[in-house]
Structure 1
Amino acid sequence: MSCIPPLSGIKTILAIAWLLSTTCGLHAQVIELPQRGFCAHRGAMATHPENTLPAFLEAIRVGAHMIEFDVLFTKDSALVLMHDAGVDRTTNGSGAVADLTLAELKQLDAGSWKDAAFAGTQIPTLEEALEVMPRNIWLNIHLRGGKELGKRVARLLEAKGRAHQAFLAVQEAARIGARTESESVLVCNMERQTGGADYVAATIAMDADFIQLRGAIRPDFRDYARVLHEKGIRVNYFGTDDPAVFRVLFAQGIDFPLVNDIAAAQKTAADFGLQPVQPVY
Structure 2
Amino acid sequence: MTSRAADAVTMPERGICAHRGASGTHPENTVPALEEAVRLGAQMVEIDLALTRDGEIVLMHDATVHRTTNGKGRVIEFDLAALKQLDAGAWKHPRFAGTRVPTLAEALAVLPRNVWINLDVKADARFGDRPADVVRRVAELVVATGRQHQTFLAARAEVAAIARATFPGIRICSMDRTKDPAEYVRDAVARRVDFIQLRDCAQDARLPAWIAALKTAGVRINYYYTDEPGEAARLLQAGVDFVLVNQVESVRAQVLPR
User: So what's the TM-score if we normalise by structure 1?
Assistant: 0.85
1:99 to 77, 92, 117: 77
2:171 to 152, 173, 186: 186
| SS, match of residue 148 in structure 1 | helix
Instruction: Determine the structure 2 residue equivalent to 1:229.
Output: 215
**Contact 1:38/1:259, CA 8 A, preserved across alignment:** yes
Tell me whether 1:142 sits opposite 2:120 in the alignment: yes
Tell me whether 1:256 sits opposite 2:242 in the alignment: yes
Structure 1 stretch displaced more, 220-229 or 117-126: 220-229
Tell me whether 1:158 sits opposite 2:143 in the alignment: yes
Code of the residue aligned with 1:263 in structure 2: it is: E
Give the drift of 1:269. Answer: 3.0
Give the drift of 1:253. Answer: 1.1
For the residues of structure 2 that align with 1:203 and 1:221, how far apart are their CA atoms? Answer: 15
For the residues of structure 2 that align with 1:243 and 1:159, how far apart are their CA atoms? Answer: 37
Give the unaligned 5+ runs of structure 2.
124-130
| SS, match of residue 268 in structure 1 | helix
**Contact 2:7/2:149, CA 8 A, preserved across alignment:** no
Tell me whether 1:59 sits opposite 2:37 in the alignment: yes
Code of the residue aligned with 1:93 in structure 2: it is: G
Quote the sequence identity (%): 45
Tell me whether 1:37 sits opposite 2:15 in the alignment: yes
Give the unaligned 5+ runs of structure 1.
1-24, 276-281
1:131 to 84, 109, 130: 109
For the residues of structure 2 that align with 1:152 and 1:118, how far apart are their CA atoms? Answer: 29
Structure 1 residue ranges (4+ consecutive) displaced by more than 2 angstroms after TM superposition: 25-29
Instruction: Determine the structure 2 residue equivalent to 1:20.
Output: none
Code of the residue aligned with 1:124 in structure 2: it is: P
- Equivalenced residue count is 248
Instruction: Determine the structure 2 residue equivalent to 1:46.
Output: 24
Instruction: Determine the structure 1 residue equivalent to 2:200.
Output: 215
**Contact 1:152/1:178, CA 8 A, preserved across alignment:** no
2:162 to 168, 177, 194: 177
